[in-house]
Structure 1
Amino acid sequence: MISPTCAIAGIGATEFSKDSGRSELRLAVEAVRAALDDAGLRPSDVSGLVTFGMDNNPEIAVARELGIGELRFLSRIGYGGGAACAVIQQAVLAVAAGLADVVVCYRALNERSGRRFGRAIASPDPDSGWHHPMGLATPAAMVAMVAQRYLHEYGAVPDDFGRVAVAMRRHASTNPYAWFHGRPITLDEHRASRWISEPLRLLDCCQESDGAVALVVTSLSRARDLPQPPAVISAAAQGSGPDQFVMTSYYRPQVASLPEMGVVARQLWEQSALTPADVRTAILYDHFTPYVLMQLEELGFCGRGEARHFVADGGIELGGRLPVNPHGGQLGEAYIHGMNGIAEAVRQVRGTAVNQVPGDGPVLVTAGTGVPTSGLILV
């Protein structure tokens, strides 16, 4: 077990919408300011900023708008949603090494009113040369191939994906901050939603959202002196699998799996000395419903091909054996590249979540899958 040295001391977010009406830079600044206020800190206390490689808001621009002043640590993590937990890991490394005292991690995007990831565009990424000529030019199309193989290999059916969508929307329906607040769905509605890329239907795919989220990371000793209960970072890991591609790989011996999440899982359990049985609630990156099932398997909550049984009869809903995404996830609350999921994990640790899961056990968080990914355990 690695002794924890850092904690998340503040969280902040804008509203989540389909048209923010303002620039991504303004969204970033609003979220960072809210996170600092939550932590009881000032911009002048910040010495480091970390964001995604895909974020359009330079660290120096965010610092300038907030009046942060000097920065001693600046970092970005690539691979889209796979960066979510890795930005926290970067902040932990900086604080633990004495490179920065307070690091703010942020992600801001107008993903609905601006550039929509669900639309095919030309990409300079060399991996695209293996996908685009075959018509696999969007994340949904790429994931659909893996999902189809999963159905074939393990005897699962599309309703198994639908049960994930129903659970996430049910959680979102009682979360006033969620875009789908008050709008649960049924399995029949999932079955009736239009095809995006077979076997993925519209309700298997996460939202396109405008908004921003920021999180404040500092030493555990300093966090204990701040207003909010610290969410202690018990483990933080990053990883990629053999023959990794972006968005996913069809060249592995086993296509219907997420080996990059397996790499992360092994590190999380080793660092924290915890097991899947200890986890109170899991915040799983739900950009596509099939990948929630595969994550449950890679993380060790069930055996390979057994996730369909795990989610049956409300297994991942509130009151189930493992409540997943009590805030509604990216399918129900908003798609902010997984950062809103980390904020929910902090609220669960603090005991302030809208859909609070009982107990004081650890909270597991994962980042985007199909790409090099990352994970956290908060206690």
Structure 2
Amino acid sequence: MTARARDERTLRGRVAVIGIGETEYYRHGASPDPEFKLALKAILAACTDAGLDPRDIDGFSSYSDDRSEASRLAAALGTHRLRTATMQWGGGGGGCCAAVANAAAAIVAGLADCVVVFRSLAQGQYGRFGQAAGIHTVSGERSYLMPYGVLAPPQRFAMRVQRYMHEHGVRQDAMRAIALASYHHAQANPRAVMYGKPLDPGKYDASRWIVEPFHLYDCCMENDGAAALVLVSAERAGDFRCKPAYLLGAAFGSGHRAAATAHNAPLYATASFDTVAPDLYRMAGVGPSDVGVVQAYENFTGGVVMALAEHGFFRPEDANDFLTFESLIAPSGRLPLNTSGGNLAECYMHGFELVLEAVRQVRGTSTSQARRSDVAMVIGGPMVSPASNLILGSEATL
């Protein structure tokens, strides 16, 4: 690395993913293990993948208030010492890429040498994301929504997507193509919860409305499990078992008053990447045409439409032409999307399984390998604040 690169305020090429791991993925409430044990299993699997002694981990990073606390993990793993512990604040699944960025920043700053980034969920143990039961008091955004019957995430996000579809003429076909592509890729992935359960256009169209414009298959699953990766400095990346995937860039945040309550943001029909996407490209030193494969968080397919447009892959008015099944599938689609099945069909691990799939694409080990995979993007949860994204690359991209 040049002296200039060391002096720049950037993460580009400074850290690498050397190991990835995950548990078996279960339907919500079906895990035989508690959440903390799931986290440990995923971390140990990532260490095995890397050929790393777990005791050499000296930092942890997560998001969305993950309950598996860093100090407890360090004790259970027998780490020699704990040097950094970071929790990304707010945004739910929008923080999946920010957690990687925070870990990378700790390594670049010299606060740690080997950081695990992870997410663990046991909804049978702690309650389902998709239900609003057990809430006795509300505040903030919910106080403007719940008294009027807007109780669950599909209701909240449907309004933003309907507005976007109205403003830009986006048809249901575009959202259907995203769902079909995710399910198509899941059929090649034995890890996927929806493996062996294909989706066709007729089945999609016949599925019940959850809240317009979302059919059942426009909505993510709810699952139990855990996923993890291990980061080290780029200088150490060659010391481990697997081909490293280098972090080319990462960004997180949102635009002006993006989280104004009562759905009163100045820019309402947005995935929240209008300011974040330019920051990502600037750090990574690439543009949309350089990206060969994308993993985009689908809490709902409409958010993916918005997020891809805000990352410059097409103009909103061109969404119907760009977002076709043929364009979104590996190996040679125009932009292979969610090549492990994504939140819709592999697993809803709060989006972190998407980061692992981007690593596999860079390594060349995906079950649905894209033709161009040296530059792989992950887009975190859309329509939230803060949102986050990242780009991984092979050694050839440095």
TM-score class, shorter: over 0.9
Question: Contact conserved, 2:141 with 2:262, CA < 8 A, in 1?
Answer: no
The residue aligned with 2:165 is 151
User: Normalised by the size of structure 1, how large is the TM-score?
Assistant: 0.95
Residues 147-206 of structure 1 show CA distances to partners (whole Å, capped at 9, x for unaligned) of: 221222222222321121111101111111101112221111111111111221111100
1:178 aligns with 2:187: no
Q: 5 Å matches for 1:214-363?
A: 214-245=228-259, 250-258=263-271, 260-318=272-330, 319-363=332-376
Point out where structure 2 has 5 or more consecutive residues left out of the alignment: 1-7, 394-398
Residues 270-302 of structure 1 show CA distances to partners (whole Å, capped at 9, x for unaligned) of: 011101001110011111000111111100000
User: Normalised by the size of structure 2, how large is the TM-score?
Assistant: 0.91
* 1:54 pairs with one of 65, 73, 76: 65
The residue aligned with 1:364 is 377
Question: Contact conserved, 1:15 with 1:177, CA < 8 A, in 2?
Answer: yes
Secondary structure in 2 matching 1:349: helix
Structure 2 Cα separation of the partners of residues 185 and 177 of structure 1 = 17
Residues 65-123 of structure 1 show CA distances to partners (whole Å, capped at 9, x for unaligned) of: 21124201011012210110011101111000000000001110023664111111436
Residues 19-48 of structure 1 show CA distances to partners (whole Å, capped at 9, x for unaligned) of: 111100000000011111111111221111
Q: 1:178 to 1:239 in 2, by over 3 A?
A: same
Residues 325-367 of structure 1 show CA distances to partners (whole Å, capped at 9, x for unaligned) of: 1111110100001110000000111111111112343001111
Question: Contact conserved, 2:15 with 2:231, CA < 8 A, in 1?
Answer: yes
Q: Note the C-alpha offset of 1:323.
A: 0.4
1:68 aligns with 2:68: no
Q: 1:150 to 1:21 in 2, by over 3 A?
A: same
Alignment RMSD (CA, Å): 1.7
The residue aligned with 1:140 is 154
* 1:104 pairs with one of 108, 116, 121: 116
Structure 1 Cα separation of the partners of residues 124 and 351 of structure 2 = 16
Q: Which piece of structure 1 moves more, 320-329 or 114-123?
A: 114-123
Q: Which amino acid aligns with 2:268?
A: V
Q: Note the C-alpha offset of 1:308.
A: 2.1
Question: Contact conserved, 1:85 with 1:365, CA < 8 A, in 2?
Answer: yes
Secondary structure in 2 matching 1:180: coil
* 2:213 pairs with one of 190, 199, 212: 199
Q: Note the C-alpha offset of 1:245.
A: 2.5
Q: 5 Å matches for 1:118-133?
A: 118-121=130-133, 122=135, 124-133=138-147
Secondary structure in 1 matching 2:19: strand
The residue aligned with 1:43 is 54
Q: Note the C-alpha offset of 1:207.
A: 0.4
* 2:16 pairs with one of 2, 7, 18: 7
Q: Note the C-alpha offset of 1:266.
A: 0.5
1:16 aligns with 2:16: no
Structure 2 Cα separation of the partners of residues 140 and 69 of structure 1 = 44
Q: 1:355 to 1:313 in 2, by over 3 A?
A: closer
Point out where structure 1 has 5 or more consecutive residues left out of the alignment: none
Percent of aligned pairs with the same amino acid: 39
* 1:34 pairs with one of 45, 50, 68: 45
Q: 1:133 to 1:23 in 2, by over 3 A?
A: same
Question: Contact conserved, 1:112 with 1:208, CA < 8 A, in 2?
Answer: no
Structure 2 Cα separation of the partners of residues 323 and 363 of structure 1 = 10
Question: Contact conserved, 1:283 with 1:324, CA < 8 A, in 2?
Answer: yes
